[in-house]
Structures are given as C-alpha cells and as structure tokens.
Amino acid sequence: MSADTILPSDVKYRRVLLKLSGEALMGDQSYGLDPKIVTRLAAEIKSVHAKGVEIAVVIGGGNIFRGVAGASGGMERATADYMGMLATIINALALQSALERVDVPTRVQSAITMQSVCEPYIRRRAIRHMEKGRVVIFAAGTGNPFFSTDTAAALRASETECMALLKATKVDGVYSADPTRVNDAVRYDRLDYLEVLSRDLKVMDAAAISLARENRIPILVFSIHNPGGFADVVSGRGRYTMISEERVS
C-alpha cells in the first residue's frame, strides 16, 4: 500500500504495531499455544488488514519460556533470555501459519538470524513488506538479553515509523491496580508517559515507555479478549487507554 492509498474514513492509523504477549496465545491453558486462540487472533488481524492498515506484530514468548524464570532456577540470565527469544520465534511461526491460512500475506523477521526458518530483521525490508500489504511479525525481541518484547515493540514501532503501538492485554486498559484482584481499581482513559513511569503503573516496562515517549508514539492499551477489539482501537472506537504526550488534568 503506498502512502497515498485511501483508507476507510474510520481508520485513524495508517501503520500500527500490535504487541501480543505470549500469554495471549495460551488461552485457558497453562503453557504453550492454543490453536483456536491463534486462529482467532489471526482473524482479528485480518479484519484490520482488510481495511488497508499496515500492520507489524511483535510477539512475546512468556507462554513458553521467560528468562527471569530460568535465571531464578539457577540458569545464567543471558542464556535464559536467549531461550526466551527463541520461544518468540515459535510463536511467530504459529501466528504466520494462522495468518496465511486466512490468506493474509505474512513475513517473519527475526532479530536472531535463523535463515532457514525466517528472514533476518532488516528495517527497510520490513517497511517495504508493509507497504506491499504484508503483515510483518518481528520475532526474537530486540535480539539482546536483559530486554523484553515490550521494549522490542517500542523499538520496532519507532524504527518502522508506526503511528501507534497497540498493546493487547487481558483487560480493557490501564488500571491503578490489577482489576482482576483489586475491586476498586481505577481505570484510566488517558495517561501521559511520565505518569505511567512515575506511578509505576504495570503496563509496559520503563524502557518501552521511555522509548515510545522519545519517539512520540502513542501507546493504546486494549483487551485482546474482546472480539473486534483490535479493529475498534484502530478506528478510535471501543475501550482502551491512550498513553501519549498530552497531559490529563
């Protein structure tokens, strides 16, 4: 899609980055991937792709392996983190397969080179894929231990000039405390980056928030369990928390 492609009038963002955690692929299972959920997520992505929106996805790996968990079991942290990054490649391939089953052209680019499985991360090439209407899934996080896939999402969104970072979570926005545990947790419609950092709201890690702030990329936090949620957020509808530069009073 070229820059002058006309998008439906309800589309607010021409190019977006969707951050999916590994847990989003797990469904009710305690580990791994639920094919039904992956299929549903692919349908959500397809509905946004069909509007002509350029889509990049950063996928996590927490449903398979987290570096901190490995390190707490005595493993060297960097090694455990590399294992976590490899887990994200598994998830990326599963999502690619589900997207291709519903005829959405998709490329996986990995920050850790694995040439017989997927492309290496090449920024210009990723942008070109999106311009041609391909969904690009970024795997292996930043390629560096001690980082998270949230930071990778902010990094890739900045590098590939996405207009918004859509962070899919289990709930419909950012709350003052975990709403699944705290009854009177307050939900915010809007926040600015500094508030998220200073109040230590658990939405993304500080590195990710700072990077998005520096590059003025709004973060939209929404529920992936809500069918049609991704399309709604791209259209500025539905329930989500917007984290941006503008102050809330």
Which residues of the shown chain bind ligand UDP in the complex (CB under 6 A)? 21-23, 60-62, 66-67, 80-81, 84-85, 87-88, 141-142, 144-145, 147-150, 152
Least Å from the CB of residue 84 to ligand UDP: 2
22/229 with CB nearer ligand UDP: 22
Least Å from the CB of residue 130 to ligand UDP: 21
85/219 with CB nearer ligand UDP: 85
For residue 24, the Cα-to-chain-centroid distance in whole angstroms is 10
Residue sitting closest to ligand UDP (CB): 60
58/233 with CB nearer ligand UDP: 58
Least Å from the CB of residue 237 to ligand UDP: 25
Least Å from the CB of residue 140 to ligand UDP: 7
Q: Which residue in 151, 131, 26, 29 sits closest to 85, CA to CA? A: 151
144/215 with CB nearer ligand UDP: 144
